[in-house]
Amino acid sequence: MKNIRIFLFLSWLTLSGSLAGQTLLDSTRIHNLDSVELVERAFQAGVAHYGSVKDQVIFASKKNEIIRLDQIQADLSSNNMRQIYAKVPGLTIWESDASGIQTNLATRGLSPNRNWEFNVRQNGADICSEVFGYPEAYYTPPVEAVEQLEFIRGAASLQFGPQFGGMLNYRLKFAKPGVPFHFESFQTLGSYGLFNSFNAVGGNSGKFSWYGYFHRRKAETWRQNNDYDVHTAYGAVQYQITQKLSARFDYTRMNYESQQPGGLTDQQFQQDPRSSARSRNWMSTPWNTGSLDFTYRINDHSSIVWKSFFTHSDRKSVGFVRPINVRDTIQAGILAYHNRQVDQDQYRNLGSEIRWMWSYTLSGRSQHLATGVRAYKGMTHRDQLGLGTAGTDPDFQAEPGSFGRSLEFSTWNYAWFAEHLFQWGKRLKMVPGVRLEKIDNSRKGRISASGILQPETRNRLVLLAGMGVEFATSHQTSLYGNVSQSFRPVTFSELTPSALTEVIDPNLKDSRGYNIDLGWRGRWDDFLVFDLSFYHLQYEGRIGAYLKDSVLFRTNIGNSSSTGIESFIEVDFTRMLWKQVSGMPSIKVFASNAWNRSRYTSWDNPAIANDPAKSIKGKRVENAPEYIHRFGLSLENSRFSIGFQTNFVGGIYADAANTLAPNAAATVGYIEAYQVMDLTGSFRIAKSYLLKGGINNLGNSLYATRRAGGYPGPGLLPGQGRTWYLGIGIQI
């Protein structure tokens, strides 16, 4: 109840502030906000939203957050997501990967597993394993290389892809305009052997612009058996071919090797959350991705962008992956190990998108049409259950011919979308849109030595539609709302039986649903920024399994809905209390709050149809906390800054049945609510030198954010304990 009262108070404060701002501002100053980036306004909150149109994309009426990495208080050296996304309300974050490479994010009751409910992009190009069949993001760029994070909620389904979560784009840094050469280097040391090195150069020469970086991060980490070492290199070059035509190419190479400590039983977690019963489990994800862009400005009212991209990457793992209550050694007290299991994936993807933006004038107001087409080919080759060594090192080789499962998947995808921004008078904007998706999946191979799968192809043509409205309530505030359809294609794993005793429903369908947003956002003068919104997410056709004629039958089995409120407010008290703030330190306070109610509305399992005690209807969706509250306080001027942040996250269930007590393998059971505090600080020694440091998990809270049934190790996965870091940087 205490958390609910805090949330209601902050929501009231946000609403009353926006009402006061509306009263004080002269409504006659309302004007067309086309192409205005609100993140560039005088009030720098570190997070804001785009105006109506930006880079061939219509943002009007959509809930979106733009995070400027150079304006937030966060540990960038370890990709600390709870700090980086602190001002994005309602974001669920699994904190089980200390390396910062395999991030796990979700909103509104969706699964955070490797961001798979999002359309994840870098510089506008897909970077996940396979967009529809295996949409997991094994690669995350070092955020020291990121200029800004662009985050659009469910309404992104029309312009970018049908995912329920929306679109997440890492827009990387590039050459500074008009600067012949610039250099940036940041070196960080920290707890448990943390070493982070980021080095970047860029510049301009005539029609050429270029930028590149090299990054390395390694540590032994807070938990036992959790070493990692990651190397990332990136290069981008742009050439202005003519006054209207430019070309740009970028390429990323990442190599990652991580020891996986595995999960714990609940008893082990209580006794020593740093412990690990797995010392021989390793994962590696060599990642290659790149894109080639052509931008042509046809005239002052029309432009076109053609983007082609590729992913040529792998996922390799070796380890003993039995439940955590099964010993890794052959016999107790004898240091003799079982042979490990080797799994290998290869991802070979190629795609191309063309976007066209046309602007024209109607009734004295600018109107905008955004449309585009997409073609995509994804190929995945999967070898699993290979016989690995009995050693302890990261040896990903399997004995020849030992893979018990070998599969090939392919996806062809074609799409067309169109959205139109109609502006009526000075206040009203309406954005209807449609998207047509054609997705063809195929599968072939074997699931065991004798279990040959019949080749199968699934073809579908899906039409999505949506509508958005935005109404300017003042020069700096607006009401916004939209409804957009979404769908989630059946994934490769859902199309593939795990054994001969499992049957896939031939009529298995994609999950479908929609997102609704209704909110109020803006600024009051130059000292307050806010966004208060209501949402509803309907998710229909969830996939599950039940026993039918003595075999496990996988089919569409249930529906769920998520409803809640998200609010963000930040106040600069220095600007609020004093008009002349030159030279004075800025004191800012922010509150990012979310309340979420995610419930199963149906679960059509014939095996429990006549047993209400076993019904899942009305139970909470797994991994969906009912509240997420993040608060922060910062003090800063041109030379120094210090920030404090605290996170309150509600408890979750790990399964749809809402099992309270953990099982022996700790793969199901309730996970308690937790609180984590962080402290960050920086000091600019001179114009070009910067010291930065902090303490993560200041109170040394012992907490867990997830339970795993498989990788990165079955069981309860603890979050990181207290750690510190200190770095020095130079920018020339």
Helices (H) and strands (E) in the chain, counts: 5, 40
Residue 417 has pLDDT above 70, yes or no: yes
* Region 154-171 average pLDDT: 96
Q: Which of 459-468, 542-551, 616-625, 671-680 has the lowest mean pLDDT?
A: 542-551
Quote the CA–CA distance of 421 and 359 in Å, as a whole number. 9
Nearest to 379 by CA among 324, 442, 292, 287: 442
Interval 164-194: pLDDT, tens: 999 999 999 999 999 999 999 999 999 999 9
Conformational region of residue 642, where left means phi above 0, alpha means psi within -120 to 50, and beta covers everything else? beta
276-286: b (≥16 Cβ within 10 Å) or e: bbbbbbbbbbb
Residue 14 pLDDT level (bands cut at 50, 70, 90): very low
**pLDDT tens readout for residues 609-636:** 667 777 889 999 999 999 999 999 999 9
Q: Where are the domains of the chain?
A: 2-731
Q: Please name the residue that has the structure tokens 């021989």.
A: 280
Query: Rounded distance, CA 215 to CA 78, Å?
Result: 12
Cβ atoms of residues 129 and 156 within 8 Å: no
Nearest residue to 313 (alpha-carbon basis) of 341, 344, 343? 344
SS3 of 227, please?
A: coil
Report the SS3 class of residue 576: helix
Cβ contacts of residue 445 below 8 Å, gap of 6+?
382, 405, 406, 407, 408, 452, 453
Tell me which of 46-55, 125-134, 190-199, 555-564 is least confident: 46-55
Distances (CA, A) of 607 to 499, 601, 619, 668: 21, 17, 18, 21
Average pLDDT of the residues in 569-577:
92
pLDDT of residue 37 exceeding 70, the answer is: no
Rounded distance, CA 652 to CA 42, Å?
40
Statement: residue 697 has pLDDT above 60: yes
Where is average pLDDT lowest: 101-105, 432-436, 445-449, 606-610?
606-610
Question: Could you tell me which residues come within 8 angstroms of residue 364 by beta carbon, excluding any fewer than 6 positions away?
Answer: none
Q: Is 2.40.170.20 the CATH classification of the domain at 2-731?
A: yes
More confident position, 687 or 110? 110
**How far does Cα 195 stand from its chain's mean position?**
25
Is the pLDDT confidence value at 529 over 70?
A: yes
**At residue 72, does pLDDT exceed 80?**
yes
Using one digit for the tens of pLDDT, what is the confidence trace for 212-258? 999 999 999 999 999 999 999 999 999 999 999 999 999 999 999 99
CB of 314 within 8 A of CB of 165? no
Q: What value does the mean pLDDT of the chain take?
A: 91
Residue 44 banded pLDDT, cuts 50, 70, 90: low
Q: Is the pLDDT of residue 3 over 70?
A: no
In contact, 651 and 659? CB cutoff 8 Å: no
Higher pLDDT, 33 or 171: 171
pLDDT class for 5, splitting at 50, 70, 90? very low
pLDDT score of 480 more than 50:
yes
**Residue 365: exposed, middle, or buried by beta-carbon count in 10 A (0-12, 13-18, 19+)?**
middle
The reported pLDDT for the residue numbered 2 is 42
Residue pair 153/517 in contact (Cβ under 8 Å)? The answer is: yes
Give the DSSP per-residue string, 152-187. E-GGGGTTT---SSEEEEEEE--PPTT-S-EEEEEE
Confidence band for 334, pLDDT divided at 50, 70 and 90: low
Dihedral sign for Cα atoms in the order 295, 298, 299, 300: negative
Q: Looking at per-residue confidence, does 369 or 335 come out higher?
A: 369
- Please report, in angstroms and rounded to a whole number, the separation of the first and last CA atoms in the chain: 51
pLDDT at 607: 72
C-alpha Rg value of the chain to the nearest Å:
25
The residue-averaged pLDDT of 560-589 equals: 90
At 469, give phi and psi (nearest 5°).
Answer: -140, 140
Instruction: State the Cα–Cα distance between residues 304 and 306, nearest whole angstrom.
Output: 7
pLDDT in tens, 275-307: 999 999 999 999 999 999 999 999 999 999 999
**b/e sequence 224-236, b meaning 16+ C-beta within 10 Å:** bbbbbbbebebbb
273 three-class SS: coil
Residue with tokens 């304990």: 721
In this structure, the number of other CB atoms found within 10 A of the CB of residue 206 comes to: 7
User: Which token pair is 440?
Assistant: 């063809």
Q: Residue 551 — φ and ψ, nearest 5°?
A: -125, 155
d(CA 167, CA 117): 9
- Percent of the chain at pLDDT > 70 equals 93
Q: What pLDDT, on a 0 to 100 scale, did the predictor assign at position 488?
A: 94
Percent of the chain residues topping a pLDDT of 90? 80
Tell me what pLDDT residue 333 has: 63
Exposed, middle or buried by CB within 10 Å (0-12, 13-18, 19+), for 452?
A: exposed
- For the cut 70, the answer to whether the pLDDT of residue 479 exceeds it is yes
3-state secondary structure of 92: strand
Predicted local distance difference test score (pLDDT) of residue 40: 41
CA dist., res. 723 & res. 732, Å (int)? 30
